[in-house]
Amino acid sequence: MVSRSLAAVWHPCTQMKHHETIPLIPLKSGKGIWLYDAQGNRYLDAISSWWTNLFGHTHPSITGAIKTQLDTLEHAMLAGCTHEPVIELSERLGQKTNGQLGHAFYASDGASAVEIALKMSFHYWRNVGKSSKTEFVALENSYHGETLGALSVTDVALFKDTYQSLLKVSHLTLAPDNRHATEQLTEIDIAINAAKNLEEILEIHHDTIAAVILEPLVQCATGMVMHHPEYLKLVRQLCDQYHVHLIADEIAVGCGRTGTFFACEQAGIWPDLLTLSKGISGGYLPLSVCLSSDQIYQSFYHDTFSRGFLHSHSFTGNPLACAAANATLDLFDQLNTLENNKLLGAHLDQAFAWVNADSRFSHLRRCGMILAFDYMNSPPTFSRDIFTHGLEQEILIRPIGNTVYIMPPYVISMDEIDFLSSAIRKCV
Ligand SMILES: *Cc1c(COP(=O)(O)O)cnc(C)c1O
């Protein structure tokens, strides 16, 4: 029998029966990179609470901005109304793309932003008289969320197989994976080969394909699979050549996580549509956004109502969440985050160098503030075992399959990186 309080809450991505033996962590508070439970035990939040938290828990600036907004306007519908926090956020995000993606459409979670991008692309083609373009291309092992539309461009068997008959079928293209690099096969060769596969698909099906969706630089949920920026350049060229949109899902890799504010910047390209969520509100409140190009926006701009983008969520552009996001963008400037993260990244390489010296591990890799390595011959219970051992070492980590990774908040110190590294070493 599970206890009453346990059964009342149905937890995400969880087999509830496992909690008969693995207790939940009853969290009480958070401060900086630390979470505290009811007994006063502390845990270093090494994966930023599912990749959402950028500047630590209960940061006074973000908390303060939410409190101020709470006393001013907590929420109002965004149809027919507007407000300062959502205008400010939209303008700032547009500026960060040099005006390339100057139109922001909001939702509350990542999967909904992906749905918006898919619908917007499809509807654009319809608006310009190409209503045959109704299909999408996703990368093998992609993850774009778990609502039905987002799941149809996701390729993770565990999440997808059961629901397959509810989903639209997408084209899958070869995913570039730097782990396959050898002396004969460079990361750029891998990018070129993967792009060739996409070209074969587009060559045959471009008349019916609306968009290619991908996670730039790191396919996170698959196990932090990284590729060379060259791949993004090639995909951009192919999308232009075959008149197909490029959707960059930056829900996990955006907001500075890979070293630049947007991951796409490292390839010197812009997508037609770009999704953000997770870190955008600093990890404080649910907020997501789909940024679009002017060309897409203009195709909806018309006297006819039904040519508009007919999509809405009750909490679209919630002022509290936008205020948290604006405070988060302020912190990027005040703390010189992108520069500082370069130093932290270099320290991560040093602190985790021991991984390379141990033959049980392979493919130590890092992109910005994401570090990962694989454990060979891991037992099926590896992920849960490491999670449990982690708690004993005062760290919160959740390996993906046999991939151990960290994605810490940007306010982690060098000493705390050393602590994290030695804690992980003890766990494995
Ligand atoms: C987490 C994630 C999503 C889904 O976001 P939710 O807020 O969990 O719905 C979509 N795409 C990527 C790349 C993600 O990491």
Q: Which two tokens stand for residue 277?
A: 């969520």
CB 252 near ligand 1, within 6 Å = yes
CB 216 near ligand 1, within 6 Å = no
pLDDT, position 3: 53
Distance from C-alpha of 118 to C-alpha of 170, rounded to nearest angstrom: 12
pLDDT, position 4: 57
Distance from C-alpha of 133 to C-alpha of 270, rounded to nearest angstrom: 21
* Domain end among 280, 302, 334: 334
Rounded to the nearest angstrom, the gap between the alpha carbon of residue 138 and the centroid of all alpha carbons in its chain is 15
Distance from C-alpha of 241 to C-alpha of 61, rounded to nearest angstrom: 45
Residues 135 and 233 in one domain: yes
CA of 288 to the centre of ligand 1 (A): 10
pLDDT, position 7: 85
Residue 60 located in a structural domain: no
Residues 297 and 352 in one domain: no
CB 370 near ligand 1, within 6 Å = no
pLDDT, position 69: 98
Residues 344 and 412 in one domain: yes
**pTM score above 0.95:** yes
Residue 397 located in a structural domain: yes
Residues 112 and 232 in one domain: yes
Distance from C-alpha of 388 to C-alpha of 395, rounded to nearest angstrom: 9
Residues 188 and 255 in one domain: yes
pLDDT, position 6: 72
pLDDT, position 275: 99
pLDDT, position 378: 86
Residue 189 located in a structural domain: yes
Task: Provide the b/e sequence for 188-226 (b: ≥16 CB within 10 Å).
Answer: ebbbeebbebbbebbeeebeebbbbbbbbbbbbbbbbbb
Give which of 86, 118, 119, 115 is closest to 103, Cα–Cα. Answer: 86
* Domain end among 297, 313, 334: 334
Residues 250 and 167 in one domain: yes
Nearest CA to ligand 1 atom 6: 110
pLDDT, position 5: 64
Distance from C-alpha of 105 to C-alpha of 189, rounded to nearest angstrom: 37
pLDDT, position 2: 47
* Domain end among 289, 312, 334: 334
Distance from C-alpha of 210 to C-alpha of 202, rounded to nearest angstrom: 10
Distances (CA, A) of 245 to 117, 169, 210, 241: 10, 18, 6, 10
Distance from C-alpha of 188 to C-alpha of 102, rounded to nearest angstrom: 31
| 278 close to 51: Cβ distance less than 8 angstroms | yes
Note down the domain range covering 9.
2-55+336-427
Distance from C-alpha of 257 to C-alpha of 260, rounded to nearest angstrom: 7
Nearest CA to ligand 1 atom 11: 144
**Ligand 1 atom, smallest distance to 114 CA:** 10
CB 215 near ligand 1, within 6 Å = yes
Which residues of the chain are under the pLDDT cut of 70?
Answer: 1-5
| 287 close to 318: Cβ distance less than 8 angstroms | yes
CB 144 near ligand 1, within 6 Å = yes
135: domain CATH number? 3.40.640.10
| 289 close to 273: Cβ distance less than 8 angstroms | no
Distance from C-alpha of 215 to C-alpha of 211, rounded to nearest angstrom: 13
397: domain CATH number? 3.90.1150.10
| 127 close to 297: Cβ distance less than 8 angstroms | no
**Ligand 1 atom, smallest distance to 215 CA:** 13
Residues 196 and 341 in one domain: no
Residue 377 located in a structural domain: yes
Nearest CA to ligand 1 atom 8: 110
Instruction: For Cα atoms 50, 108, 265, give the angle at the middle one, nearest 5 degrees.
Output: 65
Task: Report which DSSP code applies to 32.
Answer: B
pLDDT, position 1: 43
pLDDT, position 18: 86
Q: Alpha helix (H) ranges present in 22-161?
A: 48-51, 60-70, 84-96, 110-127, 148-152, 157-160
The count of domains in the chain is 2
